[in-house]
Amino acid sequence: MADKVIGGTPRGVESLCSTCRHAHRIVGLNLQTVVYCNGLPRSPQVQFPVAECSIYDDQRLPSLDAMRHIAWEVKSRSRGQVGFAPDPQRMEIVITPPSKGDEAAMPSAAPHGSSPTSHSE
Query: 32-71: per-residue pLDDT in tens?
Result: 889 999 988 989 999 988 888 999 999 999 988 888 888 8
- Reported as a pLDDT band with limits 50, 70 and 90, residue 29 is very high
pLDDT given at position 120: 47
Domain membership of residue 110 (yes or no) is no
- The answer to whether the pTM exceeds 0.75 is no
Q: For 18-28, what is the mean pLDDT? A: 91
Could you give the number of structural domains in the chain?
1
Q: Do residues 35 and 15 lie in contact, with contact meaning Cβ atoms separated by under 8 Å?
A: yes
Q: What is the extent of the structural domain holding 42?
A: 16-57
pLDDT given at position 110: 46
Distance (Å) of CA 19 to CA 46, 56, 61, 110: 14, 9, 10, 75
Domain membership of residue 41 (yes or no) is yes
pLDDT at 118 over 50: no
